[in-house]
Amino acid sequence: MNSLNAIAEAFVAARRSASGLSHYPGVPPASLDDAYAIQDHARALFAGDVVGWKIGRINPPTDAELGTNRLAGPIFAGSVRRSGAAMPVFADGFAAAEAEFLLRIGRAPDPAKTRYTIEEATALIDAVHVGIEIASSPFAGINEMGPLVTISDFGNNYGLVVGPEIADWRETGLLDRAVSLRIDGAQAGAATARAMLDGPLGAARFLFEAMAARGVPLRPGQWISSGAVTGVHPVRVGAEVTARFDDIEVSCSIEAARPA
């Protein structure tokens, strides 16, 4: 077994057993290719239906070193819930909640097309919902070791809360909507999507280009969790989380993950 596959297998085993990892299970990946190779092997082992992709930001100066300012990780069908649901996290690992715009793919992108304008990417989106991404990993130090480590464990995704649709998003846009996230009634963060690189639709453009380059097909109905608007907010088991996008709310409670 090669070392990259061993890392993937350790993460999948920890996720299935809902147990924590005190250390990274191997030598951390040193390149995007290695990080995504670990993710791809883990995705095949996990064998769940991928119903979406989370997008995360890669901050300077690492973005210049890697040649990209975003990363992607799979979202599995078993971890998607509607607003008000209880969402599991790894109690002995890392856990956070993020307010995000959720874009739904309406038409599959051309797998041979590797460059998109924002307008071309937008044309492939048929709906936008408000949502909460649950970022959780068995490895508590995942966000302290850089984006390559984050990529290697499914991009640090462990679930998606799908809230109401924004019916008029094409007419009114997304960038200036007031977004806030509260944990147990206390505000944890507030912002607009103008701080998100080229915005939520830029995340769609990134995903379409990146997946074409990696040879990973996308299909209609898959979600794009487009990135944290207000920040990455740590949560504990028992917390109540509410995200507000102008006058639209989405919420969830946090519970401990159980063995599969």
Strand partners, 101: 130
Segment 194-248, tens digit of pLDDT: 999 999 999 999 999 999 999 999 999 999 999 999 999 999 999 999 999 999 9
Residue 47: the pLDDT is 83
Residue 57: pLDDT band with limits 50, 70, 90: very high
Segment 66-99, tens digit of pLDDT: 999 999 999 999 999 999 999 999 999 999 999 9
* Cβ atoms of 87 and 237 closer than 8 Å: no
User: What's the rounded mean pLDDT across residues 106-121?
Assistant: 97
pLDDT-above-70 percentage for the chain = 100
Which residues are CB-neighbours of 65 under 8 A, at least 6 positions away? none
Strand partners, 14: none
Is 60 exceeded by the pLDDT of residue 1? Answer: no
Which residues are CB-neighbours of 128 under 8 A, at least 6 positions away? 101, 102, 103, 104, 165, 166, 169, 174, 200
Among candidate residues 36, 226, 216, 227, the one with its CA nearest the CA of residue 109: 216
Residue 2: the pLDDT is 84
Segment 140-168, tens digit of pLDDT: 999 999 999 999 999 999 999 999 999 99
